[in-house]
């Protein structure tokens, strides 16, 4: 174990070690990591101590343990923005996506700050419509770090997957681990009304998302908009 502050408890240092190995890509989502006994042998710690380290990462939703099989790096999390809406869904068809545009651009200063970019860094800017039962439901503007996502520029827009995070993983070896969503209510603009096929001047809900990889580096910033009359969200407070 390299350069760990020995004032920290052993189980903490062990957890940090494993977390860093995941962030560095040594273990990827879906991989099985070493068993308890292997960690015990490798670090000379007691079983209870190793378990405590692993439990910490389970609580952080980085790891999943399966009785009899092993301990795995978590693969995906439920990132759907549709959690914030209830649509009059007739079928149970999954949402579709229609990519509208892709450009390599200089980011707005707000986006630059959110993604912690250096001056001159560019972003891949995507726009897409999300549809439920064929009806436009969300309009999305997506900004990705250029570095790490270059391969997205090679694909035809029409061949983009409906779900982007699995596609980032496949195509770019980039794994989204968590996100911060910020919601507010706005007036609809003529453009939004056209895209979402709204007649009246309904308010809309805007969701800004900053998404992070396992190393806690922000890699994607997006703004999604949907009609406010379909907005419905439940939180548990405790």
Work out whether 238 is an interface residue with its own copies (CB under 8 A): yes
Contacting residues for 27 by C-beta, under 8 A, at least 6 apart: 18, 21, 33, 73
* Binding at 229: pick from its own copies, DNA, none (beta carbon under 5-8 Å per type): its own copies
Judged by CB, which is closer to DNA: 37, or 135? 37
Question: By CB under 8 A, is residue 32 in contact with its own copies?
Answer: no
Q: Is residue 10 within the footprint of DNA (CB under 7 A)?
A: yes
Dihedral angle over CA of 137, 143, 146, 147, nearest 10: -90
| Residue 65 binds DNA (CB under 7 A) | yes
The one of DNA, its own copies, none whose footprint includes residue 114, by CB under 5 to 8 A per kind, is none
Q: Which of residues 54-83 bind its own copies (CB under 8 A)?
A: 59, 61, 77-79
Could you give the angle at which helices 10-23 and 47-59 cross, rounded to 10 degrees? 50
Q: CB neighbours (10 Å) of residue 63?
A: 22
Q: Which of 65, 178, 193, 223 binds its own copies (CB under 8 A)?
A: 178
Tell which one of 25, 31, 35, 110 touches DNA (CB under 7 A). Answer: 35
- The residue among 230, 142, 175 whose CA lies nearest residue 29 is 175
Closest distance of CB 17 from DNA, Å: 13
Residue placing its CB nearer to DNA in the complex, 31 or 96:
31
Helix (H) or strand (E) holding 139: strand 135-145
Q: Does 94 bind its own copies (CB under 8 A)?
A: no
Tell me whether residue 191 or residue 236 sits nearer to its own copies (CB atom): 236
Query: What is the 3-state secondary structure of 56-76?
Result: HHHHCCCEEEECCCEEEECCC
Q: Does 2 bind DNA (CB under 7 A)?
A: no
Q: How far apart are CA 165 and CA 79, in angstroms?
A: 9
- Determine the Cα–Cα distance for residues 121 and 11; give it in Å rounded to an integer: 39
First to last CA, the chain: 37
The binding site for its own copies (CB under 8 A) comprises 48, 59, 61, 77-79, 177-185, 203, 205, 228-229, 231-238
The binding site for DNA (CB under 7 A) comprises 9-12, 35-38, 44-49, 51-52, 65-71
């Amino acid at each position: 174990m390299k350069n760990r502050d020995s004032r920290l408890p052993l189980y903490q240092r062990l957890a940090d070690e494993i977390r860093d190995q995941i962030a560095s890509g040594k273990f990827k989502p879906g991989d099985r990591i070493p068993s308890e006994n292997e960690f015990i042998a490798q670090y000379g710690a007691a079983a209870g101590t190793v378990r405590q380290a692993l439990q910490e990462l389970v609580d952080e939703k980085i790891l999943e343990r399966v009785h009899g099989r092993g301990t795995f790096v978590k693969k995906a999390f439920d990132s759907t923005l549709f959690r914030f809406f209830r649509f009059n869904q007739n079928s149970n068809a999954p949402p579709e996506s229609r990519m509208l545009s892709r450009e390599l651009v200089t980011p707005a200063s707000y986006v630059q700050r959110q993604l912690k970019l250096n001056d001159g860094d560019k972003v891949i800017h995507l726009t897409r419509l999300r549809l439920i039962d064929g009806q436009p439901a969300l309009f999305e503007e997506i900004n990705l770090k250029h570095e790490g996502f270059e391969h997205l520029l090679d694909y035809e827009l029409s061949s983009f997957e409906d779900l982007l995070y699995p596609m980032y993983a496949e195509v770019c070896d980039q794994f989204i681990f968590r996100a911060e969503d910020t919601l507010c209510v706005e007036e609809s603009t003529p453009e939004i009304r056209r895209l979402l096929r709204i007649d009246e001047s309904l308010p809309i809900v805007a969701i800004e998302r900053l998404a992070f990889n396992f190393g806690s580096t922000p890699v994607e910033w997006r703004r999604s908009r949907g009609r406010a009359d379909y907005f419905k969200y439940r939180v548990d407070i405790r």
